[in-house]
Amino acid sequence: MKNMTSKNNSRPEQNIQTDFQKEMSYGDYLHLHKILDSQQRLSGHHDEMLFIIIHQTSELWMKLILHEVKAAISCIRNDNLEASFKMLSRVSRIQQQLIQSWNILSTLTPAEYMEFRDDLGKSSGFQSYQNRLIEFSLGNKNAHTLAVYKHDKNLFNQMQQALHEPSIYDEAVKAMFRRGLPINEQCLNRDYSEQYEPNESIELAWLEVYRNVNQYWDLYELAEKLVDIGSQQQLWRFNHVTTVERIIGHKTGTGGSSGVTYLKRALDQHFFPELWSLRTKI
């Protein structure tokens, strides 16, 4: 019986497609030739491949985060909060993937990184426009960060537009207002290009939501999804800091930033502040 099973397993499936002269293959659909030909080491050092792939895959995951957050914002704007929950759950799962990627990069030792660091020139993760767009979409706005994109007019215009658009938190606040919760008018008509500042009326509105979960279940669920994303983004930042410190210590970043010192300052920038402060008052 064992030999018969082995022979059966070795037989080829009769209907498996093998002729792709006129059909689209797996590699064609995913454009794998383009993707897998994009890891061009400048130094030839073995570990540069790790460095490139970690950052390229991170950018792909960030692209998906932006895809999901943009759709979630549209749902919230149209008062279809429940439809946004799946998207936001997916974002937090993607963030976990990005957090884990730092653990892989941390296998790169300081001595190994120094073998090819100079070949990076002035390029730096600080310049990642997708990471900046994620920060903007979550409410962390800073017009000064756009200066590094001026060399690319189209990208700079895209970043300028994103800077002035309401974040997902701004849309959540507007959703509360449409549900009859009192929100200070200046919060509803603020300059979205400015860094978000906490407001007492928004905290009181969220407190009402948390104290009356049955009445405002969808707003309550939205708040918890945002807390998930905000905390995961902080974890991503923290793992970024510790990985960078492990590899280069307190050296200046390749892009000219103060490196670890700069990254540590970012840890103080919390997302959705009223969703955290209300926990003390509930």
Answer yes or no: are the C-beta atoms of 68 and 90 closer than 8 Å: yes
pLDDT of residue 7: 58
237 pLDDT above the threshold of 80: yes
162 pLDDT above the threshold of 60: yes
Tokens of 231: 């905390």
To the question of whether residue 52 is assigned a binding role by annotation, the answer is yes
Measured distance CA(209)–CA(221) in Å, rounded:
10
Reported pTM: 0.91
To the question of whether residue 144 is assigned a binding role by annotation, the answer is no
To the question of whether residue 117 is assigned a binding role by annotation, the answer is yes
Confidence of residue 9 (pLDDT cuts 50, 70, 90): low
Q: Which amino acid is at 141?
A: K
Fold of the domain spanning 47-249+267-280: Methane Monooxygenase Hydroxylase; Chain G, domain 1 (1.20.58)
Confidence of residue 20 (pLDDT cuts 50, 70, 90): confident
3 pLDDT above the threshold of 70: no
Measured distance CA(220)–CA(206) in Å, rounded:
8
Task: Quote the radius of gyration of the chain (alpha carbons, Å).
Answer: 23
Average pLDDT over residues 78-96: 98
H or E element that contains 204: helix 200-211
Mean pLDDT, the chain, as a whole number? 93
pLDDT of residue 271: 94
Domain locations in the chain as residue ranges: 47-249+267-280
Measured distance CA(52)–CA(281) in Å, rounded:
46
pLDDT of residue 4: 56
pLDDT tens-digit profile of 34-74?
999 999 999 989 999 999 999 999 999 999 999 999 999 99
Tokens of 181: 């919760």
